[in-house]
Amino acid sequence: MVDDWRKVTLTLSLVMLACGSTAGVSLAQQAGSPATAAPQPGRELGAQPQPTDVDRMPDSVPPVTSIGHTFKVTPIKGLSRPFSMAFVPDGSILVTERAGRLRVVRNGVLDPKPIAGIPDVLDTRLKGLQDIALHPRFSENRLIYFTYYKLKPGEKDVATAVLGRARWDGGASLTDVKDVFVSDAWCATPSAARIAFDRDGRTLYLAIGVPIRLNRPGTAQPEDSQNPSNHAGKILRLNDDGSVPADNPFVGREGYKPEIYALGIRNSLGLFVHPQTGELWEHENGPMGGDEINIIRAGKNYGWPVVSYGRAYSGDLTGDTSGPLTPEHGAPGMESPFLFWVPSIAPSGFLFYTGEKFESWKGNLFVGGMRGMVFQRIVLNPKGQPVARESMLTDLKQRIRDIRQSPDGLIYLLTDENHGALLKLEPVGK
């Protein structure tokens, strides 16, 4: 098995840049090669693939043989640009669609009628309705939380990230729908808003991205990620009613929004609280190269747009609409990533697997690739350091948007396509 992992590492070394939380050194650097391979030209984050029959999920998928497991994939079709999902105690699955629809899957069948009650959203440049999470005491209070982008009055394409809350009793509509937090990160460019509840059951984290520069007054810019007086490019920490926890790191500090938990974030499309350590983990899209995983700690600065392992979409080391301000990979007072990718895979969806169904995968990280159209497994050694990656499901040619572990230990994926699907992964023979 050790030899197998060595083969995987060597095969993927051109695209894998694994680094410890302090060293930040790639495999290429360890081998004495240049620090990074030349990034491949990538599509700007805001650009959309054209709808074609290519994005249609087949009705059945042949069993997939990977390192550790052979698994079957069961597609549940009928979704359009799904973004996130949440597992309900009764066994159903709630799924958000970016256009502003909330869907439900029961017993493996998608209800053709959306659940009513979601507020109007701006579904432009990858915004719209995004993440969803159940309150930790959902069985008692029936509360669900979701993020969406609210249109700015008087504008046609400017919106900001909102944390919404509602009650759902399992029926055809939501009740008690309200905005519990409205950010000030008004933007006309792509932006993501992911949420994760902490283990205390009363606080949650909200990541708000701002990846692209646009010369438009009154809208958020990448440089705002370093500005503590607004919410853009930050991870916020909120109570479940949207108020500010008294122990947030910047409470009472002049010039700082009290909601801020960490800053210097580009655009986070993966966020979870580690089920074993309680640490907050996130990954974010870099520009051309420089996608990264970070372990988020209170009050820390994660560098964007001052430093990055990526470069502008133009290929320049800095500047343009998308590049960092300097060509440096690190700077004093700014945290190094736990792991980074060059070229980019545009990661979306993030899971630390703890189940029993995929025994050989327990303790591994899983990330979806939007640009790479890949489902990627990251192997951690006993010290928690990344040592290898395995890429799967590339033959589907589907953009992977979200990854979740179900209560029974299976893995579910969402494909970000016009003809999207919920994919259930089950090990063969279990």
Domains located in the chain, CATH noted: 2-427 (2.120.10.30)
Place 372 in a pLDDT band, splitting at 50, 70 and 90: confident
Closest CA to 305 of 295, 293, 317: 317
Pull the structure tokens for residue 254.
């002049």
pLDDT, tens only, 225-238 = 999 999 999 999 99
| Residue-level pLDDT at 5 | 32
Spatial distance between the Cα atoms of 358 and 361, rounded to a whole number of angstroms: 5
pLDDT, tens only, 245-277 = 999 999 999 999 999 999 999 999 999 999 999
Does the pLDDT of residue 214 top 50, yes or no?
yes
Give the DSSP letter of residue 209: -
Model confidence, pTM: 0.88
Does the pLDDT of residue 24 top 50, yes or no?
no
Pull the structure tokens for residue 88.
């309900």
328-355 burial: b if 16+ Cβ within 10 Å, else e = ebeeeebbbbbbbbbbbbbbbbbbbbeb
Pull the structure tokens for residue 168.
């759902």
The whole-number average pLDDT for the span 75-94 is 97
Q: Which amino acid is at 332?
A: P
Q: Give the β-pairing of 374-380 and 268-273.
A: unpaired
Count of CB atoms within 10 A of residue 151's CB?
A: 17
Spatial distance between the Cα atoms of 219 and 217, rounded to a whole number of angstroms: 6
Place 430 in a pLDDT band, splitting at 50, 70 and 90: low
Do 353 and 366 meet the contact criterion of CB atoms below 8 Å apart? yes
Pull the structure tokens for residue 70.
């052979």
| Residue-level pLDDT at 61 | 84
Q: Which amino acid is at 359?
A: E
Q: Give the β-pairing of 411-415 and 400-405.
A: antiparallel
Dihedral of the alpha carbons of 296, 299, 302, 303, in degrees to the nearest 10:
180
| Residue-level pLDDT at 8 | 33
| Residue-level pLDDT at 53 | 53
Spatial distance between the Cα atoms of 416 and 98, rounded to a whole number of angstroms: 9
Do 101 and 119 meet the contact criterion of CB atoms below 8 Å apart? no
Of the chain, the percentage scoring pLDDT greater than 70 comes to: 87
| Residue-level pLDDT at 57 | 79
Task: Give phi and psi for 8, each to the nearest 5.
Answer: -60, -45
Pull the structure tokens for residue 18.
């694994």
Count of CB atoms within 10 A of residue 165's CB?
A: 19
Lowest mean pLDDT among 24-28, 230-234, 411-415: 24-28
Beta strands in 278-320 (DSSP E): 280-284, 291-296
Does the pLDDT of residue 51 top 60, yes or no?
no
Spatial distance between the Cα atoms of 262 and 225, rounded to a whole number of angstroms: 10
Total residue length of the chain? 430
The whole-number average pLDDT for the span 127-140 is 98
| Residue-level pLDDT at 60 | 79
